[in-house]
Structure 1
Amino acid sequence: MPGDRRFEGPSDLHLHSVHSDGTESAAQVMAAAHTRGLRTVALTDHDTTSGWAEAAEAATSLGITLIPGMELSARNDWRSVHLLAYLFDPDDSGLRAEMERIRDDRVGRAERIVRSIGRDYPLTWDDVVAQTGDNATVGRPHIADALIARGIVGSRGEAFDTILSPQRGYYEGHYAPDIEVAVDLVVAAGGVPIVAHPTPSGRARMMAVPLLERLIGRGLAGFELDHRENTEAGKRVLRGVVETHDLIVTGSSDYHGLGKPNVPGENTTSDDMVARIISLGTGSRPIYP
């Protein structure tokens, strides 16, 4: 409703549950957010909306406003790009078909990785399935959890630093749409697209500014600048882009439960920026307590 400010207070717009690669149920994620004093959150599981209903019920009971969201897999040439999408229509045919294609290919990719690892370590596909929640988007974190359960590694971090490192030869790519296509799909579904952790270090480095300018022209709404993986140099560049185009800036934890050290509310999004996201989203609405 116009002028509704029930979302005011600390807001974290990037959290994951077992519906993708988090370690907690959607309800447990909402409880963790509540414990940390958050008033507004977004569940943003990878390439799925299957946790929305559970999260909405839990958030409502806890007095938390839920912004329905997702983290959509995309690419820029060889580079993996993650696009946070808020308040889109989950039944939009174009976006839904792309989500299903991504998830289906992730399963095939995971099976190929496990077959390769299984030639050298005692790991099977059943081990991975046992670590994957119902309707979850399967990913390498689930393989890491299976390696932990087997006693082959001690943590997700160790798994990604060793066996799951691209340098070890087990890595497989997976399908993801070009970032320009991804932005178009989210906008067409009435959603608000924000680039997640846009200035990482290493090979995943920031997209070129001319490309970002094209994305802005297609409806990209902003950047998740306050995130522990962003580099300071990259953030300085993007702040200039934000100022030039009057974009949305978010801050988030990227919480994964025990899957990462990130804590709900370690970075937050201002009330004014949350209000802008709500005003732009036409595919779905916030769920207020």
Structure 2
Amino acid sequence: MTELYDLHCHSNASDGTLSPTELVLRAHQQGVTSLALTDHDTTAGLPEAQLCAEATGIKLIPGIELSTNWQDKCFHIVGLGIDPAYLPLSEATHNLQSTRLERAEKIALKLEKKRIPGAFEAVKKAAGEGMITRTHFADFLLSQNHVSTQQEAFDRYLGKGKAAYVSTSWAELELAISWITGAGGVAVLAHPLRYKLTANWMKRLLTVFKDAGGQGIEVITSRINADEIRMAAAYATRFELAGSMGSDFHNVSNQWVELGRLAPLPQNIKPVWELLG
């Protein structure tokens, strides 16, 4: 059987729309054989996902996607093969829940000042027991016809420097990596080209990332072209990082992003799954 890996996706434990069970079932339908559930700053969806994975025969890799700060910039670090019960990590996710709740209250207040009331109650209900993210606010703005697309919500209200943007202090990058490695996991820099860094900034970031214990970088993501794959692979080679691949799937309505619909990892790149137990 051909192995098909998808090592980056989200359930409704964070800002995805599918439950962990629905997500695993969809991955199974798409032919995925190894799936990492990497919800934002939480591992709450992992027990449910594991039960479904055992029933379908998918190998579930326990994961998380942590928001981090470095040099006043935000970077996302995926942790693969983690032990969710590792105390520093579980304590961190609890604290991150509080951070996201406080940010949500501030965003809602800014929207109210723009004569858009009711946001906090709506996003809290939509998130349920999961993490509140800016995507929940984008969905709210879309549902109230303040914008016509999710992207417009970020462009007009939620993006950096926009009317409802709230700057947030996340964990320092090195600390977040220590939580992942302490939990027995592999730290992977998520979607590296999305940060729009210059080559010099990327060199600085990857040097710090590797010195802190980072071992992988996403080489293959959804909607990536051949030139971008070559660029990400070059970073993997230069910094001796294992290559990861993940769709960053959130919902079924985005026809361009699907579980398992990924280009192959370049043959000269060491696969990150070889580092997983």
Relative to the length of structure 2, the TM-score reads 0.87
SS in 2 for 1:200: helix
Aligned partner of 1:210 in structure 2 is 204
CA RMSD of aligned residues (A): 2.7
Cα distance 1:116–1:258, how it changes in 2: closer, same or farther (>3 A)? farther
2:181 is aligned, of 187, 192, 201, to 187
Conserved in 1, the CA contact under 8 Å of 2:218 and 2:232? Answer: no
Structure 2 partner of 1:32: 26
Q: Which runs of 5+ in 1 are unaligned?
A: 1-5, 280-289
Contact 1:19 1:50 (8 Å CA) reproduced: yes
Deviation at 1:78, TM superposition (A): 2.0
- How big is each residue's C-alpha offset from its partner over 1:68-111, in whole Å with a ceiling of 9 and x where there is no partner? 10001111122110000012221222222222222211110111
In the TM superposition, 1:25-174 aligns within 5 A as 25-124=19-118, 125-134=120-129, 136-174=130-168
Q: Distance in 2 between matches of 1:220 and 1:214?
A: 9
Answer whether contact 1:198 1:206 (CA < 8 A) is retained.
no
Q: Is the 8 A contact 1:74 1:83 kept in 2?
A: yes
| CA drift at 1:58 | 1.3
In 2, Cα distance between the equivalents of 1:169 and 1:275? 41
Q: Is the deviation greater in 207-216 or in 24-33? A: 207-216
User: 1:24-56 deviations in whole A, cap 9, x for unaligned?
Assistant: 111111121112111111100001010001111
Give, in whole Å, the separation in 2 of the partners of 1:160 and 1:259: 18
Q: 1:19 matched to which residue of 2?
A: 13
Residue in 1 that maps onto 2:274: 276
In the alignment of these two chains, the number of paired residues is 272
Once residues 174 and 114 of structure 2 are traced to their aligned partners in structure 1, the CA distance between those partners, rounded to angstroms, is: 39
Aligned CA distance change for structure 1 residues 207 and 81 (closer, same or farther; 3 Å)? farther
Equivalent residues in 2 for 1:1-20, closer than 5 Å: 9-20=3-14
Work out whether 1:222 is the aligned partner of 2:220: no
Shift in CA distance, 93/220, structure 1 to aligned 2, threshold 3 Å: same
Which position in structure 2 is the counterpart of 1:286? none
Q: Distance in 1 between matches of 2:241 and 2:41?
A: 24
Task: Spell out the pairing of 1:254-269 with structure 2 (5 A cutoff).
Answer: 254-258=248-252, 260=254, 261-267=256-262
- Gap change, CA 1:201 and 1:91, over 3 Å in 2: closer
> Could you say if the C-alpha distance between residues 50 and 43 of structure 1 is closer, same or farther in structure 2, counting changes exceeding 3 Å?
same
Counterparts in 2 of 1:167 and 1:229: CA distance versus 1, 3 Å: farther
% identical aligned pairs: 29
CA, structure 1 residues 34+204, in 2 after alignment: closer, same or farther (shift >3 Å)? farther
- Is residue 197–residue 229 contact of structure 1 (8 Å, CA) maintained in 2? no
- Structure 2 stretches of 5 or more lacking a match? none
Seen in structure 2, the aligned counterparts of structure 1 residues 214 and 164 have a Cα distance that, compared at 3 Å, is closer
Q: Which amino acid is the alignment partner of residue 70 of structure 2?
A: N
**Quick one: distance in 1 between partners of 2:15 and 2:198?**
19
SS in 2 for 1:157: helix
Which whole-Å CA distance do the structure 2 matches of 1:205 and 1:53 have between them? 40
Matched-pair contact (CA < 8 Å) for 1:180–1:215: yes
1:198–1:223 contact (8 Å) kept in structure 2: yes
TM (norm. structure 1) is 0.84
